[in-house]
Structure 1
């Protein structure tokens, strides 16, 4: 094949690849754009199809009403409060899982104690237990400890992570023994070795796991639904469900669309801002 023909084939392949990529982006992004457009129109416009494809004049009013005025179907709680609740829960779950996972993986890999591997396999086996199996006993514990309608009740039952422990264990096992021996020669104890050597080496893995766990905490539905009775303690996903009525006329669709947009933005920002660390952490974990 001549050089010119090869260049032509590569160019066509590149054009086709970019065309398919653009089509994929449009398919994924159009529903989000549609929700944004709906959030800028009045409820009358939304209920009278077809919906315009350009932003409407109600953007400032709709977002202002949702953030400060409160939503009637959830007791007048503003979206600002819902975002705060969900952020606290998502960050608490993410940081809690990372801390517990690192601590348990550190103990399993670098310490020698009786039944060490039995402990690891007991942690690993919990991956096979569906969440529904643990719901009732966990809820009973939260009731007994009077943690219903509290941030602790929303976060603590979800902070243990067998997946995080497994990922950190696999990474810690790639640490050369020579590094551990050098730390011992320098007089570094277990805490100093963890803080000064292991923690800096684990930053990319922590970042990758943080993105996954933050989104996991942000999108929680079943547990927050059970453990919250007060509208002021609802997460944004629970509030969205409560805002939607069986009758279209009874649903404030403009505020629903605003709440949906504000619920989408934080996870998107986390992924975009930490994309490089996320990919790097996954690649290093694979190695």
Structure 2
């Protein structure tokens, strides 16, 4: 019998409500700000909807309005962010799953040394190696390019480690049965291992897509051409007005638009994402 503890339940619900409010309030303020004129922000922050409605979203996405910097296009920024996020995601998953496959199922000299060298890169944050990486990208002539935006961020020790841990749970009997049936390494990988890894791939797809979409420091460092700006870094550029008024309503609308793709990905892949992280067999 479960003991009823009304006070404890009340405190838990109160903490949950406060947590939801603390997370939802900035989003609410951003949504409300898109419905007001710029002069409404001169004295205070509006807490309720204004007279503009949601026309700013339509104008931004249709290209009928522009920021102080005329070269910034919301559709172009979204496309650049999507290209960067999807290339990083596909690259990370491909390299990580192949690396983990080689480490777990092949016997070669120094394989564990190779794995631990990959694992030790987790101790080096991006900020530590960002200047050497920038130097390499600059010498290769990859500044202001999609290859420069994506290739340095593709390698992932975390994804390699997670795939390795899952592959270690594959029973040896399954590997032996595949070998007896004549399945070579490539056939075993594509016909058996990949289908078994669907939930892991889905979970890591969500994580790496959000990681790629939210990149700010690296694109800011290697891009000076507005044609390669991503929507996350462009939000900061929109506030850099020298002579003029900061268009807060458009900036908030752009912020809301930038939030939508990761939210859509999480919602669309929610079941596979949760299963890939909490599956009892992992």
User: What's the counterpart of residue 275 of structure 1?
Assistant: 270
Aligned pair 1:27/2:22, yes or no?
Answer: yes
Show structure 1 runs of 5+ residues with no match: none
Distance 1:248 1:212 in 2: 40
Moved more, 96-105 or 129-138: 129-138
Moved more, 83-92 or 40-49: 40-49
Per-residue CA deviations over 1:110-168 (Å, capped at 9, x if unaligned) read 00111111111111111111223322232222223322111111001100001110000
User: What's the counterpart of residue 199 of structure 1?
Assistant: 194
Residue 285 of structure 1 deviates from its aligned partner by 7.5
User: What's the counterpart of residue 141 of structure 1?
Assistant: 136
Distance 1:260 1:11 in 2: 40
CA RMSD, Structure 1 to Structure 2 (Å): 2.3
Equivalent residues of 2:35, 2:54 under 8 A apart: yes
Show structure 2 runs of 5+ residues with no match: none
Aligned pair 1:46/2:55, yes or no?
Answer: no
User: What's the counterpart of residue 59 of structure 2?
Assistant: 65
Distance 2:280 2:97 in 1: 14
Equivalent residues of 1:70, 1:79 under 8 A apart: no
When residues 218 and 127 of structure 1 are mapped into structure 2, their CA distance, relative to the original with a 3 A threshold, is same
2:18 aligned counterpart, secondary structure: helix
1:250 aligned counterpart, secondary structure: coil
For residues 1-287 of structure 1, the aligned pairs below 5 Å read 9=4, 17-60=12-55, 62-67=56-61, 68-69=63-64, 71-245=66-240, 250-284=245-279, 287=282
Equivalent residues of 2:33, 2:49 under 8 A apart: no
2:148 aligned counterpart, secondary structure: helix
When residues 285 and 153 of structure 1 are mapped into structure 2, their CA distance, relative to the original with a 3 A threshold, is farther
